Chain A
């Protein structure tokens, strides 16, 4: 952590990877080593333009560089999408409470992700692969709008070849070459065969997907305390002070961003 909480750590953008028409991955090398736990987030500063929160999509075991996968969706992300290798960004963090990996030991892990919500999930998957001897199995259900919007295509292939890991994908609208499921991501839950009593579930994606995904998981019998949600709120300072990410008695930046459903089910505005 820097001496001053608000001063970003300068980081060089060394590579930009096109993931889909709207999503790019930015590979950053911070001026000093930087570590985070999977599920924690960072604030990325575009000099003089603005700052936005992202959960790194790279492995938490890597400290020399990190990656953020960003959808072009607003002022800051528009600027990011125009940046080139060699330019500088700033990062602050890591902030918040990530995934409690040790609670996943000896369990089956079901991951439900949608759109750019795959970014934090990829970081989690890197971590789970490193400890796969402690897990029973990992099933990823990932949905996107169209085949073109599916991100991390080479990584999906790699994951499918990894023992204990299974990947199911769906798209809302298919084209002629798509051979996997068609429909919203929750249709994939009909295809999974999990030992619910010995499972945990991770959900990350757009709020509407998280809402309906969680409702279906509850219907399937998953306990509320085993459903981990990565909440998307307006995390501005990251320090539990500015108030923008308030969710009732919680501040998503400090008390989250990862919560179990039973922790937040009675708080206001969790899905919007």
Chain B
């Protein structure tokens, strides 16, 4: 593990230089939210570091809402994404399992993954509904990103996890690299512990991932009917979810195909030509998404299909709180 400490001002200068060779995205505060924005020279000092969950999940960089998948994409400038929380990085690991499987590697996804360096940030605070630790995900750094970053006391501490991360650091021309001071690492460790404690308190009583799967698979339909009573099948929970990645293929003239993100929350998702539709009833559709995340996906893939970001709770116009549902199940 290669660890580097650099002054924030110098880091900003390096990023400024790399704008000529990279497209760089990072979270910025706007009037209404904190979300990924393509950086320009003037916005580099405004990057929001170490704050959980930009409004949109990381998947948007790899699975656009709509794209023509039969046109080969032309090479682009390399992309760097800064400020990704670890819930999103771990969600991407699941998407990699699906889209980069050896038998059928998705060409557009592959190209974007290869072209993109992910610089995650440790979450040094928590937001309402954050519950990653309940599912065994560490909000303070992991090795699934290319580089992880923590900003503390005007020092940027970078930990390199992959050859792609190494190449990005080299492209910045960081010739002099210093080990972070012990005192700095100690303060960082103290903040990490505090974040873990806050998450523990916030999610007191929330069952773990496997336990939740068991509870859901043994649940009665009445509970799903109750919580689905305010669901309007808008699909926002899936759109905002970092692991939901189902799609629809739409045909265009010239034997072209457009991939559009889709969700089992929409009527007709499983309908077959003869008219049968296993998910015709709304409570069935509503339950299906939970079954997929906590019961079926974990049987198929080694990654977790809910990484505890809590965005689905925040986005739901029916005010359905996933964690309240799971807590009720556990009673």
Chain A interfacial positions (CB closer than 8 Å to B): 3-8, 10, 45-52, 71, 73-74, 76-77, 90, 206-207, 232-234, 236-237, 239-246, 248-249, 251, 254, 268-269, 272
Contacts and interface: CB of A to CB of B under 8 A. Distances in A.
A10 B70 CA distance: 14
Main SS of the interface on chain B? Answer: loop
Given A6-B69, A239-B104, A73 B249 contact: no
B247 A50 contact: no
Contact of A237 (B247, B264, B277, B291): B247
Contacts of B252: 48
A51 B299 contact: no
B98 A240 contact: yes
A248 B277 CA distance: 15
B68 to A, nearest CB: 9
B292 interface: yes
A207 B104 contact: no
B272 A233 contact: yes
B210 interface: no
Contacts of B272: 232-234
Contacts of A5: 104-107
B270 A233 contact: yes
B299 to A, nearest CB: 4
Given A207-B276, A236-B249, A242-B262, A4 B270 contact: no
B163 interface: no
B290 interface: no
B255 A241 contact: no
Interface residues of B, number: 41
B10 interface: no
Q: Which of B247, B262, B273, B295 has the most CB of A within 10 A?
A: B273
A206 B272 CA distance: 11
A249 B70 contact: no
A33 B273 CA distance: 29
B300 interface: yes
Interface in B231-283: 245-249, 251-255, 257, 259, 262, 264, 269-274, 276-279
9 contacts: A45-B257, A46-B251, A47-B251, A49-B251, A234-B269, A243-B245, A244-B248, A269-B278, A272-B278
Given A236-B249, A241-B99, A244-B246, A47 B255 contact: yes
Given A51-B249, A237-B247, A240-B101, 17 more contacts: A3-B107, A4-B72, A6-B259, A45-B251, A50-B251, A73-B274, A74-B273, A90-B255, A207-B276, A239-B106, A241-B98, A241-B245, A241-B247, A243-B245, A245-B270, A248-B291, A249-B296
Nearest to B68: A6
Contacts of B255: 7-8, 10, 45, 47, 90
Going nearest first, the 6 A-B pairs with the smallest beta carbon separation are A243-B246, A269-B278, A48-B253, A249-B299, A239-B104, A272-B276
Given A241-B106, A241-B247, A207 B296 contact: no
A140 to B, nearest CB: 22
Main SS of the interface on chain A? Answer: loop
Interface string B88-114: 000000000011010111110000000
Nearest to B299: A249
A249 to B, nearest CB: 4
A76 B245 CA distance: 25
Contact of A47 (B253, B264, B270, B277): B253
Contact of A6 (B70, B269, B299): B70
Q: Which of B69, B251, B252 has the most CB of A within 10 A?
A: B251
A212 to B, nearest CB: 15
Contact of A234 (B107, B254, B270): B270
Given A45-B255, A47-B255, A243-B264, A6 B249 contact: yes
Given A47-B253, A234-B270, A241 B104 contact: yes
B73 to A, nearest CB: 11
A242 B248 contact: yes
Contacts of B101: 240
A272 to B, nearest CB: 4
A64 to B, nearest CB: 21
B251 A236 contact: no
B273 A73 contact: yes
Contacts of A46: 251
B246 A7 contact: no
B126 to A, nearest CB: 31
A5 B103 CA distance: 10
B270 A244 contact: yes
A237 B249 contact: yes
A269 B70 contact: no
A251 B17 CA distance: 47
Q: Which of A207, A234, A240, A241 has the most CB of B within 10 A?
A: A241
Contacts of A249: 295-296, 299-300
A244 B106 CA distance: 17
A165 B203 CA distance: 65
Contacts of B262: 242-244
A90 B264 CA distance: 27
A46 B274 CA distance: 19
Contacts of A246: 264, 270, 292, 296
Contacts of B257: 6-7, 45, 51
A242 B249 CA distance: 8
Q: Which of A5, A243, A269 has the most CB of B within 10 A?
A: A243
B110 to A, nearest CB: 10
Nearest to A73: B273
